[in-house]
Amino acid sequence: MEIGMVGLGRMGLNMTRRLVRGGHRVVAFNRSPGPVQEAERDGAVGVHTLAELVERLTPPRTVWLMVPAGAVTTQMLTDVTPLLARGDTVVDGGNANYRDSQRRAAALADHGLHFLDAGVSGGIWGLQIGFCLMVGGEEPVYRRLEPALRSLAPEEGYALVGPHGAGHYTKMVHNAIEYGMLQAIGEGFELLQASGFPLDLPAIAELWNHGSVVRSWLMELAQRALAADPALESIRGYVEDSGEGRWAVAESIERAVPLPVITLALQTRFRSRQEDSFSARVIAALRQQFGGHVVREG
């Protein structure tokens, strides 16, 4: 089938490659020309404007957006909607807020356009092992796109999880779970490092991947990272967040669903970005005031 891929970043370009390898015709657009040239070398049809992308697709068209959530996605939808015709489909594969996806589905429906929100997981390994796809929207539209989804995903790695918004809601929760898992692995290895024993951390990560209850792909990646740099001296402990953890915590407050592990994992990411937190200085000052405890000079 044909897919118009808009956005050729780390995910979009590799998704384009998998689609081409799966026998699909991909028309690829990116605001900067370099990734378009890469996509062309891999067998895609490169274009330099959205209008050209729409012109090169056969109706009913499918345009898949892999651009940053928020203002960039909104602008891209504003630009592409007038170029499309009734019966065409837009897929948003970015990490959008599910409420935005619900609104966008309704707005596109007013123009006679279909919409799918697709949570995409797989990172830089997706080209090799496939992308997990969590799709929300109308089943007939999903079924029409299923050949492309099958090419993008590993076996059993894609599903229609619910109506509009459900795909991005599921991806939000997926990423929130990831926050907690990463935090637990990080804390566990810090405790191992501080044990006083001459522990081989890469070997332990490798060991745990053989029969232990914590074996996982993340543990495999931990072994890989620690084998390359056992003390991780080349990496600063500064951890960004994609925004989906924040949305999940806000959703938990609204729905009165306790997420203590995920919430703390998110807060710990915020702390990782502070060289010297003001709150810690306040606490040190108070301990000095009430107990005469020694403080370290700044």
Residue tagged 């390898």 (tokens): 21
Write down the catalytic residue from 2, 146, 178, 220: 178
Write down the catalytic residue from 171, 190, 233, 297: 171
Q: Is 233 a residue of the active site?
A: no
- Which residues face 27 on adjacent strands? 4, 45
Closest by CA to 152, choosing from 6, 7, 26, 9, is 26
Report cis status (omega within 30 of 0) of the bond before 60: yes
Q: Is 220 a residue of the active site?
A: no
Q: Which residues are catalytic?
A: 171, 178
